[in-house]
Copies of this chain bind each other. A is one copy, B any other.
């Protein structure tokens, strides 16, 4: 048996990973991915470890395998990092091997120090160098080869001060280490995935607008042209994503009337989510909004205002959708031959038909839906808000998002899944870039602290990014119904600063807060079923407040990050205190937000001075952003008074003595 020698290095617990590598970790292009692993073997060998990584998609950006060094940071943990500088999908794994010559020199040094005779050891070292030289030859690194061979020859001369000095020479060891016997190495048995999104997948401010309301007289159907007139307004508010509910032809059969009436009047516009009519389906534009060319013009105009247009992906059909006759095999039929409409008994959505997602015709259905996405990508859309993804199969989303992002890694998907926690996480694991959250219903200190800590610090932070919405067309939460403008302010301040992504549905700035009926979260005269009129010049508008929040976000890099949120102590349960900081500590924002829209609240805050690397006796400057006032603070206590009119305070903290150390606390 002429078997080769084998290695026995163990590699365990390679991080970051999601479900042992079943799903990709999410990062942002331009970042370095920190990797750590437990690496060890029997005995006392010196181990060398590397990250092996490559970009795999998009194909045009695919790279060869590269290696990045890892260093031993104690307790058998090795750490390193690799760059994900381009948007796309990456894979990585870890490889480690014993450094035979370095191990030999370590032991030799101890023996020499103990005065041992090392003649035999030098012959061992010479053999190791000769082996390394042979490998250097193979790699055509001839300078190394000559050096290793010469050193081996000297070691064979036997012990002398000069020979021992050469044997223990650091640069000789480094040269030998460059030509290791990797056949003794171990490679981690999985390749882990990282998806590097563009920045907007993490940092975005959304404004939801029904373009059909933009004629703004409450009667005339708006168009993409009238919608363009709102772009300067949205830009002034500081939002950078403009999300449009579905823009497709709307079914007439079983169309819903105002306030979700079962029978629509002849002029009722219907729900944009009842997609498809004789004019077309998911790839068509509602004729009253304009043409596909008008839409492209709108997208370009928005971009000129620093705004990206996001479309809605609502994968369902009105009974008038052309696919229903063209592709009956994509739908479920009842035994009486009629098509099955959507239902959640006893409710029945007769204006909506669901696909037969898992039936025999699923392959062509899934391809057609992929084609819908690619169609809009071709029109310049790169952000999609996905309607109710939790009512469609998870394997479909995994397939769809992968197919889209393999070619277009810049496409962002926001999951509108208000459902059970594990299903929301499962959708994020399968590729959604952002997720709606329960923030909409979290109002009190303990629940906000717990939930945002889970979102931003828990295991889910590796793959899920919460986008915080104080309202949506479907949800007018109770706090807004009862709290008046102070509630709208404080909820906006929380959403805009707790997460790097937030959004509002138009009308928020006007404090629209009348429910369909007491106890309902539906809006009265909901825009889902009728046109709306709003006054962009409303003197009571919270526009300036929202504009300020978005400006603070643009000007403070810490607010653009997601995982840097930390909660601090406040002695008043109605005052939430937290902070965010960039890894280098250069930008550091302290926030205090009153959760009470009714009364003024005061609180003493306890600042994490040691985490901020501020000494207990050090004076530091704070700049309150809303009031544009500055102060010098000292020590860990700060007092704040918040009022219904000014429910939030944001301080930019400036340290005078800056430290070179990175803010590990925050990462």
Asked if A3 contacts B360 (CB within 8 A), the reply is: yes
Contact of A42 among B120, B344, B364, B394 (CB under 8 A): B394
Contact of A346 among B113, B393, B396 (CB under 8 A): B113
A639 within 8 A of B: no
A305 within 8 A of B: no
* A346-B20 Cα distance, complex, nearest whole Å: 42
For window 173-209 of A, CB contacts with B under 8 Å fall at none
Which residues of chain B are near A344, meaning CB under 8 Å?
Answer: 44
- Produce 1/0 per residue, A392-413, CB < 8 A to B: 1111100000000000000000
Q: How far is the CB of A17 from chain B (nearest CB, A)?
A: 9
A60 within 8 A of B: no
Q: How far is the CB of A456 from chain B (nearest CB, A)?
A: 21
Which residues of chain B are near A6, meaning CB under 8 Å?
Answer: 358, 362
A517 within 8 A of B: no
Asked if A345 contacts B111 (CB within 8 A), the reply is: yes
Known: A40-B423, A42-B394. A120 touches B336 (CB 8 A): yes
A540 within 8 A of B: no
Asked if B120 contacts A338 (CB within 8 A), the reply is: yes
A157 within 8 A of B: no
4 A-B pairs besides A8-B394, A124-B334 with CB distance below 8 A are: A8-B357, A40-B426, A75-B422, A110-B346
How many residues on the A side are at the interface (Cβ–Cβ under 8 A)?
A: 62
A378 within 8 A of B: no
Asked if B336 contacts A76 (CB within 8 A), the reply is: no
Which residues of chain B are near A113, meaning CB under 8 Å?
Answer: 346
Asked if A335 contacts B421 (CB within 8 A), the reply is: no
For window 91-138 of A, CB contacts with B under 8 Å fall at 107, 110-111, 113-114, 116, 119-120, 123-124, 126-127
Q: How far is the CB of A574 from chain B (nearest CB, A)?
A: 30
A616 within 8 A of B: no
Asked if B420 contacts A7 (CB within 8 A), the reply is: no
* A359-B7 Cα distance, complex, nearest whole Å: 9
Among A127, A360, A421, find the residue whose CB has the most chain B CB atoms closer than 10 A: A360
* A149-B119 Cα distance, complex, nearest whole Å: 90
Known: A5-B360, A362-B3. A391 touches B116 (CB 8 A): no
Asked if A358 contacts B7 (CB within 8 A), the reply is: yes
Asked if B8 contacts A393 (CB within 8 A), the reply is: yes
Which residues of chain B are near A396, meaning CB under 8 Å?
Answer: 8
* A505-B152 Cα distance, complex, nearest whole Å: 50
Which residues of chain B are near A4, meaning CB under 8 Å?
Answer: 360
For window 359-400 of A, CB contacts with B under 8 Å fall at 359-364, 390-396
A297 within 8 A of B: no
Contact of A76 among B120, B361, B394, B423 (CB under 8 A): B423
Q: Which residue of B lies closest to A124 (CB)?
A: B335
Asked if A2 contacts B360 (CB within 8 A), the reply is: yes
Q: How far is the CB of A462 from chain B (nearest CB, A)?
A: 15
A67 within 8 A of B: no
Asked if B335 contacts A38 (CB within 8 A), the reply is: no
Which residues of chain B are near A19, meaning CB under 8 Å?
Answer: 12-13, 20
Q: Which residue of B lies closest to A123 (CB)?
A: B335
Q: How far is the CB of A191 from chain B (nearest CB, A)?
A: 14
Asked if B20 contacts A394 (CB within 8 A), the reply is: no
Which residues of chain B are near A304, meaning CB under 8 Å?
Answer: none
Q: Which residue of B lies closest to A74 (CB)?
A: B420
A1 within 8 A of B: yes
Which residues of chain B are near A361, meaning CB under 8 Å?
Answer: 1, 3
Asked if A12 contacts B335 (CB within 8 A), the reply is: no
* A396-B6 Cα distance, complex, nearest whole Å: 12
Which residues of chain B are near A283, meaning CB under 8 Å?
Answer: none
Which residues of chain B are near A336, meaning CB under 8 Å?
Answer: 119-120, 123
A43 within 8 A of B: yes
Asked if B10 contacts A426 (CB within 8 A), the reply is: yes
* A573-B60 Cα distance, complex, nearest whole Å: 64
- Produce 1/0 per residue, A1-38, CB < 8 A to B: 11111111010110000011000000000000000001
Q: Which residue of B lies closest to A110 (CB)?
A: B345
Q: How far is the CB of A388 from chain B (nearest CB, A)?
A: 9
22 residue pairs A–B, Cβ–Cβ below 8 Å: A1-B360, A2-B360, A3-B363, A6-B358, A6-B362, A10-B426, A12-B19, A12-B426, A13-B19, A19-B20, A20-B20, A38-B422, A40-B420, A40-B423, A42-B357, A42-B391, A42-B394, A75-B421, A113-B346, A116-B345, A120-B336, A126-B335
Asked if A75 contacts B8 (CB within 8 A), the reply is: no
A41 within 8 A of B: yes
Q: How far is the CB of A185 from chain B (nearest CB, A)?
A: 12
Q: How far is the CB of A62 from chain B (nearest CB, A)?
A: 27
Asked if A8 contacts B360 (CB within 8 A), the reply is: no
* A459-B359 Cα distance, complex, nearest whole Å: 42
Asked if A107 contacts B345 (CB within 8 A), the reply is: yes
Asked if A120 contacts B334 (CB within 8 A), the reply is: yes
* A423-B77 Cα distance, complex, nearest whole Å: 11
Asked if B42 contacts A5 (CB within 8 A), the reply is: no
Which residues of chain B are near A1, meaning CB under 8 Å?
Answer: 360-361, 363-364
- Produce 1/0 per residue, A563-578, CB < 8 A to B: 0000000000000000
Which residues of chain B are near A5, meaning CB under 8 Å?
Answer: 358-360
Q: How far is the CB of A130 from chain B (nearest CB, A)?
A: 11
Which residues of chain B are near A124, meaning CB under 8 Å?
Answer: 334-335
* A422-B12 Cα distance, complex, nearest whole Å: 10
Asked if A127 contacts B335 (CB within 8 A), the reply is: yes
Asked if B394 contacts A10 (CB within 8 A), the reply is: yes
* A345-B334 Cα distance, complex, nearest whole Å: 81
Which residues of chain B are near A423, meaning CB under 8 Å?
Answer: 40, 42, 76
